[in-house]
C-alpha cells in the first residue's frame, strides 16, 4: 500500500465512532493500510471508541457540537445528509468510506476516486423500515413516516456518487443492487482470530451477542431450556436483557462482559456456537470457528458464506427454538465432518492480513482503472 499512500492523498470516512464493533474492526484495517490518512466521522466519543483511534487525526462534522449527539446520533438522521455534504474533502485524491449509514454521501473532487466498503444500505430506511415501524411508539412512527421518504431519496442519489462499491457479503451486495442499482464486489471482512489451541470441548453451548431483539438470543435460550442443555451467554446491554434473563432456565448462565482471553477460552471449550439471528456477515461465527468450535446457525444471511454446512457446522431453517433444538440433537448424533483443528484452520483464513491484501489489491485496480495511479 506504500505506493498508494505515497502517490495519492487519502482520506478515510466512517459513519460514527462511538463504540467498538465490526465496522470499527474494518476501519482499523483501513487505518493500517493508510496510517497517515485522516478519519472523517459524524461524531466521535473518545471514551467509547476503540483505543487505537486516540492517536489518529479524527475530524468530525458539526453535529459533534450538539449536546447528546454522541449517545443519540441515530436520532439526528434528518441532519446527517447536510452534515456530510458540508465537509470539504477536495484536497484528497482517494476517499475510502466504511459505510452503513450516510457517510457515502460525502462530496469529492470530480477527478478524485471514492471507494465505498458498504456494510449495508441503511437498514431502517430500506429493508427493515416496516419492522422498525412496528417496533416503536406512535410518535416515532409519525416522525419516521415524515423523514424516511426524504432520506430514502437522498440515500439513493448519494450512492450514485460512489465510484466503486465493495460489499462485506453477497447478501449485502444483493441489497446494494436492489436499492441503489449498483454492482458491488464482495470482500469479506476480517474476523478476530483467537490464538488458542483447539481442544476437546466441555459440556456447554455458547452464545455471544448484544441483547437486542433481532439477534434472537431467545431462540437459543428456549432451545437449551427445552433440551436441558447447558448454555453460556456472553454479552450485556440492549433492550431485551431483562426479558432474556427471565426466560433462562436452570441450565442457562449469563456471563456478562468477559476479557479477550476469557472469550478465547470460552470459544475453544464450547461444544458448538449457537447463532440464531440473521446478520449481513456475522463476525462471531467466524470468531468461534477460529477457536475450533462448530457453528449451529440459522441458514440465512452472511453465515451462508462462512459456515460450511456439515463440515464446520450445521444449519437450521426456521427461526424457532424447536428447529434449533432439532439441529442440536442432530449435531450431537452426527457431529460435523471437520475436526476442531480443521475448523480452526478454516476460521483463521478470515484474517486481517487476508482482508488487507484483497482490499488493497482491489483499490489499486480501481486507481488504475480511473487513471489516477
Angle at CA of residue 25, ends 156 and 343, nearest 5°: 110
Helix then strand then coil, in percent of the chain rounded to 5, is: 45, 15, 40
The pTM of this model reads: 0.89
Q: What is the DSSP letter of 294?
A: -
Domains, in order of start, for the chain: 2-190+351-370 (3.40.50), 205-347 (3.40.50.2000)
For residue 325, the model assigns a pLDDT of 98
Q: Are 298 and 278 in contact (CB under 8 A)?
A: yes
d(CA 271, CA 206): 8
357: left (phi over 0), alpha (psi -120 to 50) or beta: alpha
Give residues with Cβ within 8 angstroms of 241, minimum separation 6.
Answer: 211
Q: Three-state SS for 39?
A: strand
For residue 338, the model assigns a pLDDT of 98
Listed as ranges, residues in the chain with pLDDT below 70 are 1-6, 372-373
Q: In this predicted model, what pLDDT tens digit does every residue of 138-189 receive, in sequence order?
A: 888 888 899 999 999 999 999 999 999 999 999 999 999 999 999 999 999 9
Give the Å distances, CA to CA, from 298 to 69, 131, 273: 35, 19, 12
For residue 137, the model assigns a pLDDT of 84
d(CA 75, CA 350): 34
Cβ burial of 47 (10 Å; 0-12, 13-18, 19+) is exposed
Angle at CA of residue 255, ends 249 and 261, nearest 5°: 145
Q: Three-state SS for 351?
A: coil
The dihedral through the CA atoms of 155, 157, 159, 161 has a sign that is negative
Give residues with Cβ within 8 angstroms of 143, minimum separation 6.
Answer: none
d(CA 216, CA 267): 19
The total number of residues shown for the chain amounts to 373
For residue 6, the model assigns a pLDDT of 58
Phi, psi (deg, nearest 5) at residue 273 = -100, 130
Amino acid at each position: 500500500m506504500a505506493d498508494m499512500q505515497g502517490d495519492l492523498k487519502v482520506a478515510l470516512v466512517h459513519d460514527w465512532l462511538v463504540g467498538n464493533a465490526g465496522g470499527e474492526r474494518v476501519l482499523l484495517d483501513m487505518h493500517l493500510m493508510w496510517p497517515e490518512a485522516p478519519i472523517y466521522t459524524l461524531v466521535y466519543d473518545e471514551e467509547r471508541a476503540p483505543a487505537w483511534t486516540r492517536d489518529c487525526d479524527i475530524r468530525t462534522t458539526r453535529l459533534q457540537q450538539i449536546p447528546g449527539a454522541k449517545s443519540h446520533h441515530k436520532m439526528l438522521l434528518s441532519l446527517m445528509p447536510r452534515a456530510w455534504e458540508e465537509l470539504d474533502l477536495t484536497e484528497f485524491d482517494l476517499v475510502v468510506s466504511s459505510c452503513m449509514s450516510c457517510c457515502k454521501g460525502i462530496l469529492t473532487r470530480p477527478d478524485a476516486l471514492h471507494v465505498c466498503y458498504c456494510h449495508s444500505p441503511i437498514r431502517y430506511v430500506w429493508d427493515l423500515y416496516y419492522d422498525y415501524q412496528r417496533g416503536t411508539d406512535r410518535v416515532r412512527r409519525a416522525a419516521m413516516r415524515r423523514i424516511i421518504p426524504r432520506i430514502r431519496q437522498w440515500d439513493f442519489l448519494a450512492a450514485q456518487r460512489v465510484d466503486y462499491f465493495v460489499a462485506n457479503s453477497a447478501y449485502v451486495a444483493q441489497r446494494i443492487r436492489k436499492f441503489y442499482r449498483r454492482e458491488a464486489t464482495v470482500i469479506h471482512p476480517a474476523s478476530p482470530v483467537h490464538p488458542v489451541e483447539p481442544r476437546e470441548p466441555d459440556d456447554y453451548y455458547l452464545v455471544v451477542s448484544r441483547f437486542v431483539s433481532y439477534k434472537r438470543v431467545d431462540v437459543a435460550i428456549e432451545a437449551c431450556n427445552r433440551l436441558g442443555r447447558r448454555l453460556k451467554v456472553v454479552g450485556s446491554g440492549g433492550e431485551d436483557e431483562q426479558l432474556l434473563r427471565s426466560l433462562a432456565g436452570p441450565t442457562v448462565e449469563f456471563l456478562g462482559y468477559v476479557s479477550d482471553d476469557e472469550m478465547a477460552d470460552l470459544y475453544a471449550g464450547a461444544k458448538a456456537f449457537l447463532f440464531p439471528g440473521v446478520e449481513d456477515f456475522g463476525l462471531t461465527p467466524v470468531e468461534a470457528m477460529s477457536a475450533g468450535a462448530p457453528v449451529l446457525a440459522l441458514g440465512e444471511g452472511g453465515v451462508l458464506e462462512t459456515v460450511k454446512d456439515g463440515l464446520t457446522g450445521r444449519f437450521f431453517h426456521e427461526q424457532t427454538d424447536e428447529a434449533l433444538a432439532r439441529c442440536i440433537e442432530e449435531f450431537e448424533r452426527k457431529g460435523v465432518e471437520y475436526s476442531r483443528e480443521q475448523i480452526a484452520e478454516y476460521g483463521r483464513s478470515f484474517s486481517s492480513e487476508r482482508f488487507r491484501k484483497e482490499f488493497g489489491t482491489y483499490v489499486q485496480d480501481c486507481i488504475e482503472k480511473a487513471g489516477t495511479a
